[in-house]
Structure 1
Amino acid sequence: MSVPKTAISRGTGWLLRQQHKDGSFGSGRVFDRSVAVTSLCGLSMLSGGHLPGGGPEGEAVENALQYVLSQRRAGGLISNPKYVAQGPMYDHGFAIVFLTQIYGEAKDNQLIREAISDGVRLIIDAQTDQGGWRYQPNRKEADISVTTCQLTALRAARDVGIAVPKDTIEKGVGYVLSCRNEDGGFRYQPERDDPSQFARSAAACATLFSAGTDRQDEFKAALNFISQYRPLSDQPTDPPYYYYGHYYAAQSMWWAGKKQWTKWYPAIRSDLIDRQRESGQWLSQTVCPEYSTAMALIVLQMPNDLLPLFER
């Protein structure tokens, strides 16, 4: 299935122009130099086959890598304390994913592996008794969004040979399932009486599959729930957290198989092309444009099948 090369080129070109001199990405009061946004931008370029050192994109990936590695803290946390939105665990989770996807392709492999290993230990130690995680690296509370982020990081780390206790994964999946509603979607926290919502349900769906569990019934029910949000030209409004939701929904449909993917990808491809600004960026109402542009590019380039994270 073909990818929209012109849209991807324009989006990547716009991102290159936004990179800060220190290698970071992100803008605005809240998301300036965000480790999470920087990691997503790096992933978007890896999705296009751009490896460290090869051309402008490869140089940008290398600089993003160096920035992420420079933000390692005592105890294994990867986050910039000056620029943290909603606590550091989003930074940390996306950083671990980025490092696992670049591992083996960069000159700093030993340092990268140490950062992943230390980061995994921090995630394991921060898991609550309920099985989840939240904004801070402590064991006090949890929510489904941060939990799915950490489970994705653990899966990616396991794929590059980092030991992850089976019990940690099972407890994390158990927390996700404790947020499940009868319609197959998911609420924010198990103790809340929230209706199901597209973005967090897409994240849960992708996590149930990628965690390697045998929860096929729950995965299929979640897949059915998020399928109703396939982009259509006559949709009256966007679902909340559009780019975050479609980042995970695309993964879910990709893993679900050819039948689901061939319905989903043309729709999201067309919708994203329509949303792209003349400058090449995609705009988010909730986060910075570097974030939404990176997520759009990752989705559009999934047929390239270049990120180990998305291997079927």
Structure 2
Amino acid sequence: MIMNEIRNSKHEIRIKRETMFEIFENSLISNLFVVARVRAFLRETRNAQILQRSLSDLIFFACSSACLRVLNGNSKYPRTRKHALLRTNPAVPELISQSDILRTTASMKACCVILLGCMIFFFSGNQASAAEAVFKQDPQYQKSFDESVDKALAYLAKSQLPDGSFPGGMAKNTAITSLCVMGYLARGYSPGLAPYGETIDRGIDFVLASQSSDGSLVGHGGGQMYSHNISTLMLSEVSGMLNPDRQKKVDAALGKALKIILDAQRVQKQDTHRGGWRYERNSNDSDLSHSGWALMALRSARNNGAPVPKEAIDDAVGFIMKCRMQDGGFAYQPGGGASITQTGVALLCLELCSRHREDTTLKAGEYIAAKYDVKKTNEIPFFYYAHYYLAQGMFQLGDDQWEKFAPKIYGTLLKLQKEDGSWPPIGQHETQPGPCYATAMAVLALSVTYHQLPIYQR
């Protein structure tokens, strides 16, 4: 009789184990059926990113739900079933005890706990990313986003002066006008076409008229190499979108403007500053801020087929790398302290120059993510300048870094926009450039996902 009871007990253990596996299997199959149905629905969104993230979350749900059913003892197996002989016959425990059944149950549950823990560990990072991806793709959010940019462009159009320039800075600043023109291009508007074709054309003509006989695009607004580099970038970006007469003027202006940038890079400098640019054409040192605009102008022109030597691009990248600090950030000049603003400049330039997601750019992205505090953004010097580079750089870096960063920077900028569509200058450094400058930089920062400006396309 004892042996019969032992056989019954072993059979019960096997049934218990098989029952628990059956619970897990049936629950998992049932949940995966739901996943398949939802997957079919998600495919209709035609959004691969959302589909991938959502399926990842649903698989996590299916497996974890199956584990929880086992842990909760959701079974038809009677929990209170016991054998009288196991309780009364002292010979039985030496061969098989009630704890064998309990150990079988416990081991199965332990496996489920371990599996559940592993899933939480591996999927937890995707939960935030998925939520942020949905937030970013939300139709109402996108509508608000589009309305914000459109209001800003309407404000700029009303602010344009009769000569085609946009107010701000010292006298007639070609850099501010060029930034405003690029704001329209970034939204997908083209020269000569309604509703802002005339606004764009007049801005281009103002910059062309400001060029001196030696090719400088500074005009009377000051800023020297800042104004020249930014205006050169704008003319390169708009090239190919113009009518034949205006295109000829732009081609001629670009040839002279690019020569100035290349000559300024070739000025004799110490090794730590070689390859970069500074405030003046003949400066014998360099900084990352000026070099960023100059490099983008050269890169844009080279992309358009202009005869820009590859060595010029490589030397500029070499200078940027000299500004890199051990913590992954970048400094204004070699040997200085890293800042979030200059790290954004470096990240964008390196990404545009075939350094996509290398160790250097990944660490720069980590530095930016760690330093960007939404509660302290007003403490960032050159607020709009910084946000322009941070948005562009992190977007180029892409993947999870951009998904996590985008809602932060979008939220920061959108809440600052005024009712008339403009953005107010923040801090002493951007008071003089004025609201047109601030608005143009905000538009360029917010427009990265439109993929319209060739230089910023992934």
TM-score, length-scaled by structure 1: 0.91
What is the count of residue pairs matched by the alignment? 304
Alignment pair present for 1:228 and 2:376: no
1:98 to 218, 225, 234: 234
Q: Does residue 296 in structure 1 map to residue 438 in structure 2?
A: no
Offset of 1:156 from its aligned partner?
0.7
- Report the equivalent of 1:112: 250
Residue aligned with 1:134, SS:
coil
Alignment partners' CA distance in 2, 1:18 and 1:236:
27
Q: How big is the shift at 1:49?
A: 1.4
Per-residue displacement from partner, 1:88-131 (whole Å, max 9, x unpaired)?
11111111111122111111112212222221111111114311
Separation in 1, partners of 2:320, 2:164: 34
Find the aligned partners of 1:151 and 1:212 in 2 and give their Cα distance.
Answer: 13
CA distance in 1, matches of 2:357, 2:447: 28
Contact 1:46 1:306 in 2 (8 A): yes
Matching residue of 1:205? 347
How do residues 1-312 of structure 1 correspond to structure 2 at under 5 angstroms?
Answer: 1=137, 2=142, 4-27=145-168, 30-80=169-219, 82-85=220-223, 88-107=224-243, 108-127=246-265, 128=267, 129=269, 130-190=274-334, 193-213=335-355, 216-230=358-372, 232=374, 234-235=375-376, 237-284=378-425, 285=427, 286-287=429-430, 288-312=434-458
Verify the 8 A CA contact 1:152 1:211 in the aligned structure 2.
no
Aligned equivalents of 2:191, 2:371: Cα separation in 1: 36
Cα pair 1:198 1:240 within 8 Å, conserved: no
- Identity %, equivalent residues: 32
CA contact (8 A) 1:79 1:91 kept: yes
- Partner letter of residue 288 of structure 2? I
Gaps of 5+ in 2: 1-136
Partner-residue secondary structure (3-state), 2:164: coil
Residue 171 of structure 1: how far off its partner (Å):
1.4
**Conserved in 1, the CA contact under 8 Å of 2:171 and 2:221?**
yes
Q: Distance in 2 between matches of 1:266 and 1:215?
A: 21
- Aligned partner of residue 55 in structure 1, secondary structure: coil
* More displaced stretch, 291-300 vs 108-117: 108-117
Q: Distance in 2 between matches of 1:290 and 1:38?
A: 9
1:40-69 residue CA offsets vs partner (Å, 9 max, x unmatched): 000001111111122342211110000111
- Tell me the distance in 2 between the aligned counterparts of 1:76 and 1:145: 22
Change (3 A) 1:56 1:219: same
- Aligned partners of 1:259 and 1:215: how far apart in 2? 12
State the alpha-carbon separation in 1 of the partners of residues 356 and 372 from structure 2: 26
What SS is found at the alignment partner of 1:75?
coil
CA positional deviation for 1:139: 4.4
Structure 1, residues 8-42: CA drift from partner, whole Å, max 9, x if none?
Answer: 12211111111111101132xx4442111100000
State which drifts further: 146-155 or 121-130.
Answer: 121-130
Render the CA deviation track for 1:286-311: whole Å, top value 9, x for unaligned: 22211110011112122111111111
Counterparts of 1:206 and 1:72, CA distance in 2 = 28
- The RMSD of aligned alpha carbons is 1.8
Scaled by the length of structure 2, the TM-score of the pair is 0.63
C-alpha displacement at 1:213, in angstroms? Answer: 4.5
Structure index of larger Rg: 2
